[in-house]
A and B are shown apart, each in its own frame.
Chain A
Amino acid sequence: MSTTHPQSDAASSDAATASPVARARARRRSKHRRRVANVAGLMASLVLTGALYSVFSPAQAAPAEGANESAAEAAGRELYERSCISCHGENLEGVPNRGPSLIGVGEAAVYFQVHTGRMPLVRQEADAPDKPAVFSDEEIDQLMAYVQANGGGPTLPSGDLRDGDVAEGGELFRLNCASCHNFVGEGGALSSGKAAPSLNDSSDLEIYTAMLTGPENMPVFGDNQLTSEEKRSIINYVQTIGEQADPGGAGVGRVGPVAEGLVIWVVGIGVLMFGIFWMGSKA
């Protein structure tokens, strides 16, 4: 036993014989050395990670962009990153309290929102009012291509959008649409400053894509709720009624009794009051 432990005995005796000051210094030195080693290791790994990332990451992304993205999508991405990204996020994922995710909305939603001028938004408010479109048709196509490629979702319909029965369209319109858009699509108020817009100036494609994608407060009328033919019937009805002249004279907004009441009080009673004033002055 003793032969196997002479050094350790000596060392322990050394340590036992060394002053407490020297012992403390030795301990501090070893701690210092450990710390330096740690920092160096961390630095090395960071550098390595950074180097690896800088080597691999662009190497992966660059060929993807070049290889899979068409020119339209690239132009769309540029437009998106300039005008949409702040609310819809860099990957169409949306930003909480600013804008919804665009994953799955499809080119139909992009067409409706951008073509009616609702997007880009002027400011956050109850709902997005329509205004003159900011982007040209070509730019809208590019945006549609970009969102369709990266988010997917419903696409634009093809064919004659008025290819449906007008009477059936009327029934479907009154059943599904009139409760917000009024009997003939004049629009109406919703809660808290929101509104269902008038359909008077809407194009066939705008109405179709609105039904398909349910913008703002509107429910989605997917092809399971209203088939493509039924949507076309509704569009046919809305546009037929919108283009039809009022056989009874001035339409006074086609909103019914409120406007008519205003007419009878302002015009009817107004003219008659004038009439009896005139008769009174003849006395």
Chain B
Amino acid sequence: MAATATAPGAPTTRLGKTATEIDDRLIVAGPLRRTLNKVFPDHWSFLLGEIALYSFLIALLSGTYLTFFFDASMREVVYEGSYAPLRGVEMSAAYDSALNLSFDVRGGLFMRQVHHWAALLFVASIVVHLLRVFFTGAFRRPRETNWIIGVVMLVLALLMGVTGYTLPDDLLSGTGLRIISAIILSVPVIGTWAHWAVFGGDFVGELIIGRFYIAHVLIIPAILLALIAVHLLLLVKQKHAQFPGPGRTEHNVVGNRLFPTFAAKATGLLFIVFGVIAALGGLVQINPVWLWGPYNPAQVSAASQPDWYILFLDGSTRIFPAWDINLPGDYTIPALFWPTVVVAGAMFTVLALYPMIERKLSGDTASHHLLQRPRDVPVRTSLGMMALTFYGVLMLSGGNDVFADKFDVSLNAMTWFGRLGVVVLPPLVYFLTYRICLGLQKHDREVLEHGIETGVIRRLPHGEFIEVHQPLGPVDEHGHGTLAYGGAPVPKKMNQIGGARRAIRGFFKPIEEPAQVELEQGREGRGLAAADEARELTSSGRPSEGGRPQEPRD
């Protein structure tokens, strides 16, 4: 019996046949092909958001392991575990299980540390990613929605952190919880009611750890996951923005396809991120709750600080003057309200609305797929640096007692540095950044007009010395380059335009023989040295005469 004739192109392997069967039923081949062929532009700074994604993934996985052993209860128990200095001490079941996780569960301490480091890295990489998006103008139309989603995810990440580090119910996190309680209470009118709603009564009650636990392991991660999905779908739908450069326009994307190049890169990065977090988790101790002790409202330690991403709120509270507002009828707006609720609220509101604010101010409502270099938008860049300085001073002030202690500075001096710095430094930074942006722009324009400085000094027959310039393109009758300023990087060195031999390849160590490269280059006749013997200079090398002295041409 003759074999059944197969249609041309039909799969013959077992794998291929399985794939065909699946495609017949689910019709995935088309969309999959489109997705795998998606082009991602190539720039190191586009990988920052991926770091955030991967650290979230690692936090999710390690956190799941922790839930197997953690008991989010404020029931009072007496510790009888293997950490001797706390044996016999009364504590909550949450702290007790955190100690057991650290000392009695196999791999528990490592997982706790991995989880905590991943969380710190998650927020840090979100911030770095946000800075990249901000300073390159990637939030402009049509990407405002994704910007707002990003800011919401940042806020959720902070909440995730706060609810997370509160869970072990140690003395440090309990102090933080006390401050959270005070912040909620400080809100005018609704404060007391909100506090009762959150804590189920007065501080500290018996509910809060359980509530934070559900928020931390279920509610916030679920919202975050959904938002991450939307964030990425929008990215795919709107396509990735790219830096301007040769061949790159508003209507194309130049880069690598998702499969295989980009996928390989992304997987590589996942393993790098995982490696870094695992190394930190194994080598550097984080949040040693057994040293802090169980929470007791009567106790507080010097240098009680929140994790770094909340440090700015601690800082704003530390430097804010003690201005209670006493209203008639026994109402008080405590000073704490302003540096925490108002400052944080204003900061994140302005951040979220920035695309709209900029659109309003600049009147630029066009769609943009080409990014901007920070120097080309000096106002935005300076505003960003100003905001960063403000944030930086607050963050520094959050740790001001540690800095005062370690660097032997007066704590009062640190406080006043914060108070003055937060007002004086941002405008100063704005001005400096603005000047630096203009300076960089001017230098780019100068190179476009006059060419690259070759470093070759020439003495003209009448004795004048000039530096020979290499124009980047055709020149007009005055010797000025005719290339327009395009907001793309301008080569500043002869090497970058092939003026010297190409660099030896290899990142950590050369992966090719330098002598071999020299030979090859000599044969190709490229580079400055190649034509040196044959060169006979015919022009002065002034820009007006076309710049770099040329070899005589027939």
Contact = CB atoms under 8 A, between A and B. Distances in A.
A272 B300 contact: no
Interface stretch (B303-311, B320-328, B457-465): B303-311
Contact of A126 (B48, B86, B410): B410
B48 A276 contact: yes
B303 A247 contact: no
B203 interface: no
A279 to B, nearest CB: 6
B411 A260 contact: no
Interface in A88-102: none
B405 interface: yes
Given A170-B89, A277-B44, A256 B285 contact: no
A224 interface: no
* A interface SS class: helix
A275 interface: yes
A249 B117 CA distance: 13
B402 A255 contact: yes
Contacts of B265: 279
B8 interface: no
A167 interface: yes
Nearest to B395: A261
A247 to B, nearest CB: 6
Contact of B109 (A182, A247, A269): A247
B305 A256 contact: yes
Given A248-B113, A250-B283, A281 B507 contact: yes
Contacts of B268: 279
Q: Which of A192, A247, A276 has the most CB of B within 10 A?
A: A276
B interface: dominant SS: helix
A217 to B, nearest CB: 12
A237 interface: yes
Interface stretch (B150-158, B290-298, B355-363, B364-372): B290-298
Interface stretch (A19-27, A71-79, A153-161, A172-180): A172-180
Given A170-B86, A183-B292, A269 B125 contact: yes
B500 interface: no
Interface string B396-408: 0011111011101
A188 B303 contact: yes
B303 A166 contact: no
Contacts of A283: 42, 256
A201 to B, nearest CB: 15
Contacts of A267: 280, 284
B85 interface: yes
A191 interface: yes
Interface string A238-254: 00110010111111111
A282 B507 contact: yes
Nearest to A178: B301
A258 B47 contact: no
Nearest to A271: B276
Interface in B492-525: 507
Interface string B234-275: 000000000000000000000010000000010011001100
A276 B411 contact: no
26 contacts: A175-B296, A178-B302, A183-B301, A188-B401, A189-B302, A189-B401, A190-B411, A193-B413, A195-B408, A247-B285, A248-B284, A249-B282, A250-B285, A256-B305, A257-B287, A257-B306, A260-B286, A264-B280, A267-B280, A268-B121, A268-B124, A276-B48, A277-B44, A279-B47, A279-B268, A283-B256
Given A258-B402, A264-B120, A264-B121, 7 more contacts: A189-B401, A190-B411, A193-B412, A254-B288, A256-B172, A261-B399, A283-B42
